[in-house]
Amino acid sequence: MQENPLAAGLGLPREPPPLSLVIFGASGDLTRRKLVPALFSLHLKGSAARMRITGFARRDWTTESFRARVRAMLDAEDAPPASAVDKDAFAARVDFVRSSFDSPEGYAALKEAGPDHPNRLFYLATPPDAYQTVVERIHQSGLADQSRGYARIIVEKPLGRDLASARALNEVFAGAFPEEQIYRIDHYLGKETVQNIMLLRFGNEIFEPVWNNRYVDHVQITMAETIGVESRGRYYEGAGALRDMIQNHMLQLLSLVAMEPPVDLAPDSVRDEKVKVLKSIKPIGADAVEAETVRAQYAAGIAEGGEVPGYRREQEVAPDSGTETYAALRVSLDSWRWAGVPFLLRTGKRLSRRATEISVHFRRPPLNLFGDRARLSAQPNVLVLRMQPQEGITLSFNAKIPGHASDMRTVAMDFAYGSAFAEELPEAYERLLLDAMVGDSTLFMRKDEVDSAWRFVTGILGGWAETARPCLSFYRAGSSGPDEASRLLASAERRWRRL
């Protein structure tokens, strides 16, 4: 039974039942950087008092050596601050099973290790090519049995490479787990500002009446990174910016901004509305990719305080690679609310600033009452929701400059989570892990969400392959991206927000 998220929103208890959490791929970077700190934070808050954690990997480790590694992770600078007693107590509840992903003996050991924990939560922190093997072995060993308690699985992206592979992968999951027990994670949905989108819209009467094509000129969604591909060259060569960022993170943000009010906050009520948005996206195929998309790749430049190589000089990248490290789209929705409003999406690596934000750009007033000088200085109102680097919300509007003339200037009202609530924000993985433990799937992707997103993205990929258009552009590392992206604005009065 799924917990009512309204109870969570009111601060009512969200105590998980006794459970065994198994991390497949426990020797990887995700476990070290995200999962262990998040689980430890839940431990400190008392939300994991009845949980046993088992790492599963091929490394030649024992439970004792794995505990020592976990204990060392808790001493890292970015780990939650805590006493040595708390760190020791957390490490003591960790076990380890050494096994390859296809060994039946490893899964038998898992089954024997947790007889007192009727609920099981499996986390796939493995390379995507191991998903099928792990899920099939879980099923064959009986670990997915739902008769004694729940058995759930959390799956990291990427969920396929295109529509066909995503559907095939979902069939593999469906062969072992009911759909309601499959938790497809997108860590961006665990960020406070993302969760606040619905509350901002539907909990404040001043916003929802103007959240439509009568008042909104366009919406920009930006995910900009200053880093390059670093050690992920092999993965990125097979992915690119469109698959890596737009198919999941950015389309999820778009669906939250554009969705209709749900009938309630039950998980499927919210996800039903998100799916409607994804299904309403106008396809971009071979006939439209040149007009509606831009793809580009970073060249050598100055970034993060020093000279950096171009993408084609990165480790495990082909010297003539055509993979895009930057992608921008102009997305149109065939819906009553958003007809005629372009959603402008852009994402890229090695850009001038790290930023993830949604900006809603409102129309200009219908009549200029304040003269030409005011018209030139006045800017359209913009509502900005920032996910990183500092989560918050800013509303810009025009105000009169003190003096005898009717001169005006754009000013801003700014809300920052850190200063407004004077407490540290929980990490996204902390919130999402707790949700999966208690059975709240609101912030996880449903099968038809993944399907609808891939249908749209696969059309673009096919259009690029069929026409070889638009041509791959290049931008200097440390810049704001390719000049070609400006043509997607389709108006002399629109501007991309500065990076």
Annotated catalytic residues are: 249
Give how far the C-alpha of residue 293 lies from the chain's centroid of Cα atoms, to the nearest Å. 21
Tell me which DSSP letter residue 248 carries.
Answer: I
The answer to whether the CB of 313 falls within 8 A of the CB of 306 is no
CA-CA distance, 410 to 380, in Å (whole number)? 9
Q: Could you give phi then psi for residue 346, rounded to 5 degrees?
A: -145, 140
| Number of residues in the chain | 499
Give how far the C-alpha of residue 89 lies from the chain's centroid of Cα atoms, to the nearest Å. 32
CA distances, 194 to each of 19, 258, 373 (Å): 28, 13, 38
Query: Is the Cα dihedral 292, 296, 302, 303 positive or negative?
Result: positive
Virtual CA dihedral for 137, 90, 58, 64, nearest 10 degrees? -130
> Which amino acid belongs to residue 309?
P
CA angle 457–460–466, rounded 5-degree value: 140
The answer to whether the CB of 445 falls within 8 A of the CB of 207 is no
Query: Is the Cα dihedral 259, 431, 188, 180 positive or negative?
Result: negative
Give how far the C-alpha of residue 84 lies from the chain's centroid of Cα atoms, to the nearest Å. 33
- Structure token pair of residue 415: 């809300």
Name residue 412's beta-bridge partners.
Answer: 396
- Structure token pair of residue 187: 């860590």
Please enumerate in sequence order all residues whose Cβ is within 8 A of that of 409, keeping only pairs 6 or more positions apart, or say none: 377, 398, 399, 401
Q: Which residue is it, tokens 């787990």?
A: 177
CA distances, 247 to each of 254, 345, 355, 456, 458 (Å): 11, 11, 18, 8, 9
Name residue 476's beta-bridge partners.
Answer: 299
The answer to whether the CB of 116 falls within 8 A of the CB of 93 is no
Virtual CA dihedral for 37, 40, 426, 179, nearest 10 degrees? 90
Mapped onto helix, strand or coil, the DSSP state of residue 314 is coil
Cis peptide before 470 (omega within 30 of 0): yes
The answer to whether the CB of 163 falls within 8 A of the CB of 131 is no
